[in-house]
Structures are given as structure tokens and as C-alpha cells.
Structure 1
Amino acid sequence: MGAESNESLDVLSVFLTGIPGLEAQHGWLSIPFFTMYIVAIVGNSLIMAAVHVDAALHEPMYLFLSMLAVTEVGVSVSTLPTVMGILWFDARQIDFDGCLAQMFFIHTFSCIESGVLLAMSYDRFVAIYNPLRYTAILTLSRIISLGLGITLKSVTFMAPLPILLRQLPYCHVNVLSHSYCLHSDLIQLPCADTKLNSILGFSIVLATFGLDSLLIVVSYVLILYTVLGIASGEGRRKALNTCVSHICAVLLYYVPMIGVSVMHRAAKHASPLVHTLMSSIYLFVPPVLNPVIYSVKTKPIRQGIFTLLSCKRKWL
């Protein structure tokens, strides 16, 4: 039986529905989606390039921001082939192993992003609580170690998901109600009990996103406590102002995620279009808006991008 199921997987394909109910408008919908991809990839790439080129941005805060930009590009590139393939060419079929690979990269980059947001909250706490030792605590080697640790943790947690799904037998009808492959949808396809997969997926969510969000809240409670101890109102305002961009990034990431989770469990009978749009907001909005927010709210980043673009114009 196991040999037959593995053999069937070699020819198994998954069909992606795209945006349910709006199939006739896929051509028009490709315009805003492609625009979001361009903004996300170009915007985050500019931030990475500016931090790399400008020595003034080689500080912990901007190095963490560069890591965040890497994850945003990763999430965007992971979904781009299938989303634009459906909207442009009506290419709804994807090889099962390709679907598992896409699922792994989407969830892994999302997990890394959550870890980076936690690291950035720690960065803000250290900058406000102990500003005199800020650079001594957050050295380059520690930042690199944090980045590698977050990446290793994310890969380790997400690697079992496609491996376990690969071992299950599948039915003849394998249709996903999205333009990309997610674990919550894939576990609905096997012709077998997926309780272990569901428990593992839920445990990973708690151990990564749940724990990260809890620690971010704790960080900001400590930050607020520290800020309230600052004597001058101007000092308190400046301290809090350094956290605005990060708070926006956290809200952009976790609010849609919570919305998707609530919809998945409490509104199972809602229109497939609603579920698809909520998942799209979760995956597409943060990569688009984060570079915009950081460029507007963070003057050194804005100046670094302007310097980078002016240097390119001179070179051309």
C-alpha cells in the first residue's frame, strides 16, 4: 500500500483555484497583484542595498531591518510563480512536490519574519533601557548569531511538515482554494487521518508565532515601563518615536495572521472568496507596506535610499 501511494505521488498534481468567483476578472486582477509584487520586491531590495552600501546604516536597528526585508522578498518570491501564472496564463496545475516546496518556503520565511520582528523588539528594548551599552550588547557577531539562530529554528520547525505530508495517500481530486500552497489547505487532501499533521502544525504555530508574539508584548511592556521612568516629556516622546515603525510592522504582520486563524476556525462556512482575500492580505500586505513605512518614518533609511539611487544615476 505504501509503495502504491508513493508511486501515485510521482504523477500527482494539485489544482489551484485562484480567486474563487472572480475567475473572469483574473486578467484585471493581475494588475494590482503584479504591482504589489513589484513594490514589495523593489522596495525591500532597495532597503537591503541601502543598508549594505551606506556605512552609516551599519547599526543593529538597520541590520535587523535588512533581515526583515530579506524575509519579505522571500515570501513574495515564494508565491509569485503560481499567483501570476494563474492570473496571466490560467496555469492552475502544480506538481505535488512543487506544491510542498512552495508551502515549505512560504511558512519558513513567515516564521523567520516573526523571529526577526521579535529580535527587533529586543533591539528597541536595549536601545531605550540601556542606550549607553547599546552597541556593546548588540555587536555584529551577536546580530549574525541571532539571524542564523532564527533561520535554523524556522527551517527545523517547518521541515517535518512536507515530509509527513509526502507519506500520506491522496485522493484523485486535489484542489486548493488559493493561488498558492499552504499547510492548512494541504492537510485537507489526504485520504487518511491527518490528526498528527494537524497537531504538529498547531504546535509549531504555538512554539513559533505564539511565543514570538508573547515575547514581543513583554518587550513592549518593559519598554513602556522604562519610558515612563524618563523624566522629560520630550525624552519620552523621542524614545517612543523610535518604536513607531516597528509597532506598525508588528501590527501589519500579526493582525492579518490572527484574522486568518479566526476565519479558518470560526467562519468555516464563509465564502471561499473571503478566506482567499484574508490569506492574500496576510501574505501580500506586509511586504508592500513595510518598506514604505520604514522609508517614511526612518530618516536615515530614506537618506540611504536617496544616496543609493543618486549614485546609480551618476554611474549610468
Structure 2
Amino acid sequence: MYLLLCMLVLTDIATPTFVVPKALGIFWFNLKGITMSGCLTQMFFLHMVSVMHSATLVTMAFDRYVAICNPLRYATILTNTQIAKLGLVGLIRAVLFILPLLLLLSRQPFCANRIITNTQCKHIAVGKMVCGDIIVTRIYGLVLMFVINGFDLTLIALSYGLIINAILRISSKNAHQKALNTCTAHICLMLTYYTPSLFSNLTHLFSQGIAPHIRISLADLYLFIPPMLSPITYGVKTKELCDKVGKYTCCRR
């Protein structure tokens, strides 16, 4: 579980890291320019980390499934090597899915008026600057979004379906509560990640009639809310962390 939390922390740190420095340059020093290669690079890493974050949530759902449905085999199924392999598969999947998107956009002719009405170079925003036909790029981006989210959410739903089935077969109410408590943090984490992501993508796809500041705010909240809430969510639910914080607070008093 702690190795998975480390993977989650790395993706949470990486996501705003690719956006915040440039956003601060815009707000503090009015440095609104960015090279095309820099914009495409930011887009690649931003979307790659997003796909990796989703893969980490799927792995954590599998972790909860093993912990509840096969607790006696937990240490033998989810070894350090196995977790490393799952993390590597998630990283390779993210690169292989996002790299074609970058190659398709980099070969397109861009208009003279290259203005992105956003604080980040997202695929949809960069695509609007292309003067040529980007129907293939748009279709690939849409298919990618629905395939990744649909596939990952299906695996998560399958894991929780098996978890619920296992919990219902337990007669003890205390065991019910204990099993559900182990999943609470992960469920909260999924809600804080997938909900802003869904709203952000929908506002970009159907941007007509939506004020620019609302669209930009939703895109920024999608980047900052999950990394901000993840430590709080797992910090509250992790007994060791709560004990350490309580002990430190008492000593300070």
C-alpha cells in the first residue's frame, strides 16, 4: 500500500510541476510566450502523467481487492517486484497512448495567431491553433479519453463489485465496517480525480456558451484539487500518520 502511495505522490507532484512554473511566469512577470516545442512537451508530460495517475488508481483498486478478498495471500500476491511491474506497465501504457497524439499535432501547420486561452497546453487547446485538417487528431483524442477512462473505470468497478460480493458474505457487522473503511480513502480519491477531470474535458469539448474564465478555472482546479486532497485523504485514514501527528502536536503543547 505504501509503495502505491509513493506512486500516487509522484504523479500528484508531477502534475502541477509541469504547469505551475509557467503559470507563475504569466501572472508574476507577464511572460505569456512559449515556444511550440515547449508547448507540445508540456502537453505530452501533462497528459502522460494524467494517464499514469489513472493507472495508479486502478492498481490501488486491485490492491484493495486482494487485501479484502485474499488477505492471507496479500503479501505473496502484491510483492515489491509485482508492484514495480504494475507501475512500469502503467508508465509504458501512458507513453504509448500519448506519444501518437504528440506526433500527430507536431506535423500539423499552425496558424499565425497562436494564442491559447488557458494557463496550460492541453490537447484540445493546442488543436484549435492548427490551420489544417485535424479530424484524425480529434478522433484519436476523443477515443483515447473514452478508452482510458472507460477501461480504467471498468476495472475499478469490477474490483469493487468483487469486494462488495465478498463483504456481503461476511456475517459480522464489525468486519463489514472494517472492510469498507479500508476502501473509503480510495473511493474519495477517485471522486476528487475523475469528477474534475470529466467536467474539465466536457467544458473544453463543448466550450460554446461557456465563459472563458469558468473553463480556465475548471482546468486549473482539475490540476490542483487531487494533489491537494490526496495527502489529506490518506493522512486522515492512515493510523500511523495520525498517531505521529497527534504525538508531535502533544509534545509541542
Smaller-chain TM-score bracket: over 0.9
Distance in 2 separating the partners of 1:128 and 1:227: 8
Query: C-alpha separation between the residues in 2 aligned to 1:295 and 1:114?
Result: 20
Partner of 1:234: 174
Where do residues 249-260 of structure 1 align in structure 2 (5 Å cutoff)? 249-260=189-200
Q: Would you say 1:90 and 2:25 are equivalent positions?
A: no
Q: Displacement of 1:304 after TM fit?
A: 6.6
1:172–1:305 CA distance, 2 compared to 1 (3 A): farther
| Residue type at the aligned position of 1:296 | V
Q: Cα–Cα, structure 1 residues 180 and 262, in superposed 2: closer, same or farther, change >3 Å?
A: closer
Identity %: 38
Q: Secondary structure at the match of 2:34?
A: strand
Which residue does 1:247 correspond to in 2?
187
Q: What is the letter of the counterpart of residue 31 of structure 2?
A: A
After the TM superposition, which segments of 4 or more aligned residues of structure 1 sit over 3 Å from their partners? 301-307
Question: What amino acid is aligned across from residue 173 of structure 2 in structure 1?
Answer: G
What residue is the counterpart of 2:143 in the other structure? Answer: 203
Does 1:120 pair with 2:60? yes
TM-score between the two structures when normalised by the length of structure 1: 0.75
How many Å apart are 1:303 and its aligned residue? 4.9
Alignment of 1:142-221 (within 5 A): 142-221=82-161
Give me the whole-angstrom Cα distance separating, in 2, the residues matched to 1:210 and 1:165: 24
* TM-score normalised to structure 2 length: 0.94
Select 2:17's aligned residue among 45, 68, 77.
Answer: 77
Cα-to-partner distance string for 1:239-275 (whole Å, 9 max, x where unaligned): 0001111111100000111112332334522101111
Q: What corresponds to 2:210 in structure 1?
A: 270
Q: Which has the higher contact order (CA 8 A, sep 6+)?
A: 1
Structure 1 residue 207, shift from structure 2 partner? 2.6
Cα distance per residue 1:85-105 (max 9 Å; x no partner): 111111110011000000011
Partner of 1:134: 74
Which stretches in structure 2 are left out of the alignment for 5+ residues?
none
**1:108 counterpart residue number:** 48
Partner of 1:293: 233
Corresponding residue pairs, total: 249
Deviations 1:110-136 (A, max 9, x none): 100000000000000110001011111
Q: SS in structure 2 opposite 1:93? A: coil
> What's the Cα RMSD here?
1.7
